[in-house]
A = this chain, B = another copy of it.
Amino acid sequence: MNTCTEGILRKNQLSITEVRKKILTLFLTHNGALTHSDFENNFGEKMDRVTVYRTLQAFVEKGIIHTIPTSDNSVQYALCKDNCSAGHHRHRHIHFVCSNCRNTYCLDDIITPEIGLPAGYSVNKVEVLVEGICSVCN
């Protein structure tokens, strides 16, 4: 796992540090999206708030993780499993929020549908957020 996180960091020209490896490991081992406060509070890792902000921001910029728009406007982050690169996120999967366990998941196999828009509109990106009950809670 360590090799893995180091490889990801190296590939993205980020220097290999303890904090970055920790955060990346949590993403790799955790099934579902994570929030800033997950890192700051839980997981018994006690990371510095500011460092977490900067790390998450760096990861988003490099295309390692992506943010997920949510109904309650909390900021959720999840690993990019698509071919994202610095400055270019190209996700087509949908996101799912469980109303029961409150977890957010990327459903990587389900791609966003084509949306027909009125004349004059051009489409760049489509985000789909589904709310319901996940398979674990059901």
A residues within 8 Å of B by Cβ? 67, 69-71, 73-75, 94, 96, 99, 107, 109-110, 113, 115-136, 138
Q: Are A121 and B94 in contact (CB under 8 A)?
A: no
Q: Are A134 and B120 in contact (CB under 8 A)?
A: yes
Set of chain B residues within 8 Å of A128, measured between Cβ atoms = 115, 126-129
Q: Are A121 and B126 in contact (CB under 8 A)?
A: no
Q: Can you report 29 residue pairs joining A to B where beta carbons are below 8 Å apart?
A: A67-B73, A69-B71, A69-B129, A71-B127, A73-B75, A96-B117, A96-B121, A107-B117, A107-B118, A109-B118, A110-B116, A113-B113, A115-B130, A117-B130, A119-B135, A120-B138, A121-B133, A121-B135, A122-B132, A122-B138, A124-B131, A124-B133, A125-B131, A126-B130, A127-B127, A127-B129, A127-B130, A128-B129, A129-B129
Q: How far is the CA of A62 from the CA of B135 in the complex (A)?
A: 32
Q: Are B127 and A123 in contact (CB under 8 A)?
A: no
Other-chain contact of A127, B75, B109, B131 (Cβ < 8 Å) = B131
Point out which of A71, A130, A133, A138 has the most chain B C-beta atoms below 10 A from its C-beta: A130
